[in-house]
């Protein structure tokens, strides 16, 4: 008999055992966060406590204007090898589950093939025909949320007289019996717990979807300020997660004991997606700066060069005019034509020098490493002066402009680089303001360290290996790889995979990044997870 069969129910013995069993089921339901696992648990526990041979779970789908009933899962002891696929059907009172969902009533049928004549519903026998089965007794109970709305239906099929018997069309009448009122009450209690658990799971999903949307919107906000880095955060997240999964699959070496569960990988993914969020606090002019000089400053210098050229041309014209006034008859020792031609040649030489200087400025403005010779030429240019409209002497390029053009590497001044590097601290300050759940509490710290190096040469805190988590170390490897390979920098194209891996090996050799993680990164071809973007990029070492 069933554990809750009134024919064998002993108030002193079985009631306590049943309560304990229900408490265990409630505990199991409250501890499950995966919907498929939760629905399977609801069904298996309900069948176990009632000796049901089979059963199914339906959920009500209210995602659009047309209500649907989703067939989510099914179990059948007598047909254990039959696979069931999820499908949707209209929510109408013509099916057993549809009637229960719409009315909130419980159906307890002795023989599902012969429902009451006035009933609007009937059993769809196609399932039985397809798998060679016969449905006899059925108990269908609504699962409701806290407001009393039906969110699903728990359907139990063929209450057996003995739990281990296997049913077939020949013995189904003899070996099954109707569900008792006692069992109906027990299953209704289980359905109530199940409804709350499903509602909690749905709420959890909604919260996670909401937060996922917040994260993606945050990433878009970052990338809108610097479109050339578009996709960087998502690719870094994909690479980091793939590296964590590869570490999980490692069965030898220093990383064989490292393992990250699904929650930790989710935490790592959020940290990777948001690791650059602090760039939203970096002045946009610095963030999108392509060359050593800002465009408006370069344009000012260009206008200055134009002014100097026009001044030279004016001086040449004045000199010619003076010659013409002083020698109207051209009877001097030096012919007038020679004097005029000398003026033209001098003007041509000065304009050529000016154009050479402008080309020097244009070349020096590119954010690449420059040699000593251009630096000498820049000093020569810095000594060039012209007469301004107020009659005072002015340098063709200012000391500040010379300092920026003389940068030996990259395109950022020390002050600008400090602003860029501050994005790490900005990210941390932002992320720690979020009330993370316990399982995501490590996100701020993981993101905070993505520019730290194991040898202590990183920033902003100069941490060393023992103080940098393995999650952060994985994020660092992914971040560097994507910075090397994705798109174009202002002064060079994105590197190929082999070149990027070579640079990473050099970083590992000087213990800037974890050599064991890099080995996994290469052996498992984690780098193949994403295809580098061909879009122009402005990513720097910062």
Structural domains of the chain, ranges and CATH numbers in brackets? 14-204 (3.30.450.40), 226-285+419-529 (1.10.3210.10), 295-411 (no CATH)
- Tell me the C-alpha distance between 16 and 18, whole Å: 5
CA end-to-end distance (rounded Å), the chain: 71
Q: Is pTM, for the whole model, over 0.75?
A: no
How does DSSP classify residue 536?
B
pLDDT score recorded for residue 344: 87
CB 294 within 8 A of CB 235: no
- Tell me the C-alpha distance between 157 and 79, whole Å: 13
pLDDT score recorded for residue 535: 41
- Mean pLDDT, the chain, whole residue set: 86
Give 389's pLDDT tier (boundaries 50, 70, 90): confident
- Tell me the C-alpha distance between 143 and 165, whole Å: 29
Least confident piece of the model among 73-77, 294-298, 339-343, 360-364: 339-343
Q: Write the pLDDT tens digit of every residue in 464-519.
A: 998 999 999 999 999 999 989 876 444 456 789 999 999 999 999 999 999 999 99
pLDDT score recorded for residue 19: 54
Helix (H, G, I), strand (E, B) or coil at 9: coil
Q: Which of 449, 472, 527 is nearest to 264 (CA)?
A: 472
Q: Write the pLDDT tens digit of every residue in 44-71.
A: 888 988 999 999 999 999 877 788 999 9
Q: Write the pLDDT tens digit of every residue in 326-366.
A: 766 655 556 667 777 888 899 999 999 999 999 999 989 98
Indicate if the alpha-carbon torsion angle 204, 207, 213, 218 is positive or negative: negative
Give 5's pLDDT tier (boundaries 50, 70, 90): low
pLDDT score recorded for residue 331: 56
- Tell me the C-alpha distance between 11 and 29, whole Å: 26
CB burial class (10 A; 0-12, 13-18, 19+) of residue 507?
buried
Q: How many helices (H) and strands (E) does the chain have?
A: 19, 11
Residue 169 has pLDDT above 70, yes or no: yes
């Amino acid at each position: 008999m069933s554990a809750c069969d009134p024919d064998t129910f002993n108030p002193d013995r079985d009631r306590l055992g049943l309560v304990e069993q229900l408490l265990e089921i409630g505990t199991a339901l409250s501890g499950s966060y995966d919907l498929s696992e939760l629905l399977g648990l609801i069904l298996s526990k309900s069948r176990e406590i009632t000796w049901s041979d089979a059963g199914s779970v339906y959920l009500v789908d209210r995602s659009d204007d047309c209500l649907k009933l989703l067939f989510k899962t099914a179990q059948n002891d007598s047909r254990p090898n039959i696979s069931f696929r999820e499908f949707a059907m209209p929510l109408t009172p013509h099916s057993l589950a549809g009637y229960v969902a719409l009315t909130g009533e419980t159906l307890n049928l002795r023989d599902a093939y012969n429902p009451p004549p006035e009933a609007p519903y009937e059993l769809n026998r196609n399932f039985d025909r397809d798998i060679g089965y016969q449905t006899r007794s059925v108990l269908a109970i609504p699962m409701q949320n806290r407001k009393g709305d039906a969110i699903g239906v728990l359907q139990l099929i063929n209450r057996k007289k003995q739990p281990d018997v296997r049913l077939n069309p020949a013995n189904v009448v003899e070996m099954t019996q109707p569900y008792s009122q006692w069992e109906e009450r027990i299953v209704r209690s289980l359905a109530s717990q199940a409804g709350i658990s499903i509602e909690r799971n749905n709420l959890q999903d909604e919260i996670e979807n909401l937060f996922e949307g917040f994260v993606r919107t945050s990433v878009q906000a970052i990338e809108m300020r610097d479109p050339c880095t578009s996709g960087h955060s998502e690719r870094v997240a994909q690479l980091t997660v793939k590296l964590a999964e590869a570490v999980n699959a490692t069965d030898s070496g220093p990383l064989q004991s490292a393992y990250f569960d699904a929650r930790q990988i989710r935490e790592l993914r959020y940290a990777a997606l948001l690791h650059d969020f602090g760039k939203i606090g970096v002045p946009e002019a610095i963030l999108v700066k392509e060359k050593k000089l800002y465009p408006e400053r370069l344009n000012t210098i260009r206008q200055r060069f134009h002014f100097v050229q026009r001044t030279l041309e004016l001086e040449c014209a004045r000199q010619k005019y003076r010659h013409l006034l002083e020698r109207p008859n051209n009877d001097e020792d030096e012919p007038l034509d020679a004097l005029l031609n000398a003026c033209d040649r001098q003007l041509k030489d000065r304009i050529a020098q000016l154009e050479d200087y402008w080309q020097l400025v244009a070349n020096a403005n590119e954010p690449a490493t420059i040699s000593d010779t251009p630096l000498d030429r820049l000093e020569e240019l810095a000594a060039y002066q012209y007469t301004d409209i107020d009659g005072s002497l002015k340098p063709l390029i200012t000391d500040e402009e010379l300092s920026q053009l003389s940068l030996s590497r990259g395109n950022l001044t020390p002050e600008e680089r400090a602003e860029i590097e501050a994005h790490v601290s900005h990210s941390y300050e932002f992320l720690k303001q979020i009330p993370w759940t316990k399982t995501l509490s490590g996100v701020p710290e993981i993101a905070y360290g993505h520019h730290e190096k194991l040898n202590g040469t990183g920033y902003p805190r100069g941490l060393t290996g023992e103080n940098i988590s393995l999650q952060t170390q994985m994020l660092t490897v992914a971040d560097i790889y994507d910075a090397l390979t994705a798109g174009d920098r202002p002064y060079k194209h994105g590197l190929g995979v082999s070149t990027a891996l070579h640079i990473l090996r050099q970083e590992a050799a000087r213990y800037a990044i974890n050599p064991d993680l890099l080995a996994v990164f290469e052996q498992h071809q984690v780098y193949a997870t994403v295809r580098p973007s061909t879009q122009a990029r402005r990513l720097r070492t910062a």
